């Protein structure tokens, strides 16, 4: 009912059309909106067949949401003059290959989710962003991200994306989640110091988080393909630290003194020694420790308290006795290490790496992907 009223209002219109929520149903509706400079409300176009190009090139500002979703025939989108929108949601448009927003610089909530044929996405300079998500596209590059203190940043499953430059970001109030983008993906958060939520990087080939000093939630690295992990400035991780399935050969957290919950180091098949340089200052772990892999040595030079259980498993030169002495701060140790005497079995010693399975997206990233898609699609169904 209300939708029909809105459409009627547009048809009647010119003056009144620019301060209402509008649901676009036809080219005529599009032309009407295109006569506005500023639209005080939302624009929604949802599930309309037969529109191949959506082009609204006069409109400069939308105070509410711009939602473009479930448009099967749509191939190109252009908002040539748009500088500001409350939110932008481009969701589930199967055949869209180009989205042009050349002047867009201010948008609080930016979601481009599940547009599997999208190859070109342009915007000017994102400088106001509480939420920035690009998920499930084939874009080859990102535009400029200029916000130094955004909310969430989530870039998932854009399999042609090989460089993510978020060097303008200094702190986030929300989470950062980067996974399953292009092979060889180089991720730069070179100015980032503080993260207000979880931080997770998966499937990257290079990662700069050299200034990161504090994380308020979980810190996770999954299936990254680079060899030397250095997190030189991190002093405090308020929840867990998880390093799983990575190709790391060396790991260094030179300033990390506190972890808020648990420490998990599992299945990093080329990492065989937790050395004196790995966690030189780590003092306390209130949660559990899980260490799994082919370790030769482990040491935690400063560790004084471990409140949870320690689980050790895998096969290497390390014995349970050595492990227990390295983790004497813990009362509760469950050790099932299988100790091999010398080389032969320990892949770490031979120059020949037999297993080199670098691909495969982390299962976690897919879970997140589905959850986010569900959430985003659910958000967009409102009719005024």
Ligand X SMILES: *[C@@H]1O[C@H](CO)[C@@H](O)[C@H](O)[C@H]1NC(C)=O
Residues in binding contact with ligand X, number by CB under 6 A: 32
| SS3 of the chain: helix, strand, coil, percent, to 5 | 15, 35, 50
Site for ligand X in 162-191 (CB under 6 A): 165, 186, 188
With CB under 6 A as the contact rule, the residue among 52, 301, 360, 375 that binds ligand X is: 360
**Window of 5-13, 33-41, 245-253, 331-339 that interacts with ligand X by CB under 6 A:** 245-253
**Window of 81-89, 302-310, 335-343, 352-360 that interacts with ligand X by CB under 6 A:** 352-360
151 CB neighbour count, 10 Å cutoff: 17
**Window of 22-30, 55-63, 218-226, 337-345 that interacts with ligand X by CB under 6 A:** 218-226
- Name the H helices within the chain: 2-12, 27-34, 320-326, 363-379
Alpha carbon separation from 191 to 129, 208, 219, 293 (Å, rounded) = 17, 9, 17, 33
Site for ligand X in 97-156 (CB under 6 A): 125, 127, 144, 146
User: Angle CA(113)–CA(168)–CA(206) in degrees, nearest 5?
Assistant: 75
Question: Does 377 interact with ligand X (rule: CB under 6 A)?
Answer: yes
CB of 290 to ligand X, least distance (A): 12
Question: Does 159 interact with ligand X (rule: CB under 6 A)?
Answer: no
With CB under 6 A as the contact rule, the residue among 64, 72, 130, 283 that binds ligand X is: 72
Quote the CA–CA distance of 75 and 240 in Å, as a whole number.
43
Contact map string, positions 29 to 68, toward ligand X, x by CB under 6 A: ----------------------------------------
8 A C-beta contact, residue 276 and residue 255: no
With CB under 6 A as the contact rule, the residue among 75, 84, 193, 230 that binds ligand X is: 230
Taking every pair of C-alpha atoms in the chain, what is the biggest distance, in angstroms? 86
Beta strands in 183-292 (DSSP E): 186-188, 194-195, 199-202, 206-208, 214-215, 219-222, 228-230, 236-237, 241-244, 250-252, 258-259, 263-266, 273-274, 284-285, 289-292
8 A C-beta contact, residue 31 and residue 50: no
Question: Does 250 interact with ligand X (rule: CB under 6 A)?
Answer: yes
Question: Does 206 interact with ligand X (rule: CB under 6 A)?
Answer: yes
Q: Binding residues for ligand X, per CB under 6 A?
A: 70, 72, 92, 94, 125, 127, 144, 146, 165, 186, 188, 198, 206, 217-218, 220, 223, 228, 230, 245, 250, 252, 267, 273, 275, 296-297, 350, 352, 357, 360, 377
């Amino acid at each position: 009912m209300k939708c029909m009223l809105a459409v009627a209002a547009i048809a009647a219109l010119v003056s009144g059309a620019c301060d209402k929520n509008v649901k676009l149903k036809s080219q005529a509706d599009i032309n009407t909106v295109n006569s506005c400079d500023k639209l005080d409300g939302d624009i929604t176009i949802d599930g309309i067949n037969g529109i191949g190009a959506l082009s609204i090139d006069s409109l400069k500002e939308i105070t509410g949401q711009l939602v473009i979703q479930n448009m099967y025939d749509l191939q190109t989108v252009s908002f040539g003059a748009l500088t500001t929108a409350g939110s932008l949601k481009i969701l589930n448009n199967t055949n869209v290959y180009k989205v042009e927003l050349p002047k867009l610089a201010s948008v609080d909530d930016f979601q481009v989710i599940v547009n599997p044929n999208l190859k070109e996405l342009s915007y000017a300079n994102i400088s106001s962003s509480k939420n920035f998500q690009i998920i499930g596209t084939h874009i080859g590059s990102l535009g400029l991200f200029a916000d130094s203190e955004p909310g969430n940043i989530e870039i998932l499953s854009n399999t042609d994306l090989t460089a993510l430059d978020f060097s303008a970001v200094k702190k986030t109030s929300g989470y950062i989640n980067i996974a399953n983008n292009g092979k060889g993906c180089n991720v730069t958060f070179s100015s980032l110091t503080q993260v207000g939520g979880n931080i997770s990087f998966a499937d990257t080939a290079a990662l700069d988080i050299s200034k990161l000093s504090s994380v308020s939630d979980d810190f996770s690295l999954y299936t990254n393909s680079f060899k030397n992990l250095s997190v030189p400035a991190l002093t405090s991780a308020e929840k867990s630290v998880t390093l799983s399935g990575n190709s790391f050969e060396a790991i260094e957290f030179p300033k990390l003194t506190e972890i808020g919950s648990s420490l998990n180091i599992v299945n990093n098949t080329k990492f065989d020694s937790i050395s004196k340089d790995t966690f030189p200052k780590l003092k306390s772990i209130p949660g559990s420790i899980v260490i799994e892999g082919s370790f030769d040595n482990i040491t935690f030079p400063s560790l004084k308290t471990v409140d949870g259980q320690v689980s050790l498993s895998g096969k290497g030169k390390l014995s349970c006795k050595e492990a227990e002495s390295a983790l004497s701060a813990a009362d509760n140790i469950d050790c099932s290490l299988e100790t091999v005497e010398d080389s032969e079995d320990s892949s770490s010693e031979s120059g020949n790496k037999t297993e080199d399975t670098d691909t495969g997206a982390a299962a976690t990233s897919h879970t997140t992907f589905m959850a986010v898609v569900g959430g985003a699609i659910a958000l967009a169904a409102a009719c005024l």
